[in-house]
Structure 1
């Protein structure tokens, strides 16, 4: 069933605190009961043309199929308009999910799923959650975002282990208290020690900043590069995306060392 999380980064501005970034991250494991696992499954998505990112947990086939339909329609200017506000954009996304679900064969749908949708309009960010329960049906709601850097959502079968591990980073005495890197530290450590057999593999992350659209992050772990959980052994154009190490520091993909000018972070 997986682990999915979301967190925000907040900056101090002269007019007060403002959200500067939002991230959705997940593990990379797909499972089929006890029959098998696949640790290269895509669980986070984003638009390269509009400031929209997504992630899911729970049932795999329906959310991955629907997001695979939504993203191209956003990228091609079909589903959303440039002047749609945050609620209008999410309402259109939810209507698409709901109408698709109404025709989906229920015998092939898992008991539950959650789809996160983070969006930006001008300088404002919002996070929405669409959840389905076999007994209660489907619903959509906004997740309130505070004015401090912190995790704002965790879900899936790995949630309890992740939440327990995060307690040490949420101690005011910790070096990384109230930082976005603290949430990522917790994610990487949880995945290394996870007991839940349905959660595993390397982390995968998409994010939104104040400018531009979805950012896909490559992961550097043990001097190796990974994208969506899969090691990048092919001859790829590594410089086309950002790369982060386990401290969430920006990394040069050629040398696998901290990027020149990047701030080192306490562990």
Structure 2
């Protein structure tokens, strides 16, 4: 069923605290019961042309299929337009999901549930929405409140209990990374290293939004190797086209596999 989390970074501005970034991250494991697993499954998505990112947990087939349809339609401005506000964009995405689910074979979802996160931005306004399909078999959509502090804003999936337990360590005001956005990713990395839930595993995968530009895809450096969507990356033709991070969310040089020159080291 997986583990999915979302968190925000908040900066101090003249007019008060403002959200400066939002992230959605997950593990990389697809499972078939407890017997079969695949650790290169894509669970986070984003548009390269508009500030829209997504992630899911639970049933794999419907969310991965529907997000595979939504992203190209966002990229080509079929589903949303460049002047649509955050609520309008999410409403159109939700309506697209709902109309698709109405024609989806009900037997395929008989015992399955899922959650889809949608983070979006218009100008400087960030929003996060959660679409759920639960045991009542009704598709629901709700905004997730974003606080004025850098912290986790959502965790879900079968690995949630283990993540939330470990997260208590970072929620301690005495912790070096208390109230920092990097703390959430560090907690995710540690959780996946020690996870007991057989349906959660593999390397982390992450997408994010900043105040400018669109989806940021992050590569992961782990044990002197590079990974994208859980799979080791040996393609070095254009490694610098994305950002690379280690377990402490420090920026990494994809060529040397060391901390990027000038990048700030983070306390563990």
Normalization by structure 2: what TM-score? 0.98
Coordinate RMSD, CA, aligned? 0.8
Q: What aligned pairs does 1:59-208 form with structure 2 within 5 A after superposition?
A: 59-109=59-109, 110-208=111-209
Q: d(CA) in 2 for partners of 1:117 and 1:88?
A: 13
**Residue aligned with 1:42, SS:** coil
Q: What aligned pairs does 1:233-244 form with structure 2 within 5 A after superposition?
A: 233-244=234-245
Q: d(CA) in 2 for partners of 1:108 and 1:127?
A: 28
Q: d(CA) in 1 for partners of 2:252 and 2:215?
A: 19
1:235, distance to aligned residue in structure 2 (A): 4.0
**Residue aligned with 1:190, SS:** helix
**Residue aligned with 2:169, SS:** coil
Q: d(CA) in 2 for partners of 1:124 and 1:23?
A: 14
Kindly provide the CA deviation profile for residues 62-115 of structure 1, in whole angstroms up to 9, marking residues without a partner as x: 000000000000001100011111000000000000000000001112520000
1:136, distance to aligned residue in structure 2 (A): 4.3
Q: d(CA) in 2 for partners of 1:188 and 1:221?
A: 10
Moved over 4 A (4+): none
Q: Does 1:53 align with 2:53?
A: yes
* Unaligned 5+ runs, structure 1: none
Q: d(CA) in 1 for partners of 2:234 and 2:50?
A: 30
1:233, distance to aligned residue in structure 2 (A): 2.2
Kindly provide the CA deviation profile for residues 132-189 of structure 1, in whole angstroms up to 9, marking residues without a partner as x: 0132411000000001000000000000000000000000000000001110110000
Q: d(CA) in 2 for partners of 1:240 and 1:115?
A: 27
1:14, distance to aligned residue in structure 2 (A): 1.2
Q: d(CA) in 1 for partners of 2:67 and 2:102?
A: 16
* Unaligned 5+ runs, structure 2: none
Normalization by structure 1: what TM-score? 0.99
Partner in structure 1 of residue 260 of structure 2: 259
Q: What aligned pairs does 1:218-257 form with structure 2 within 5 A after superposition?
A: 218-257=219-258
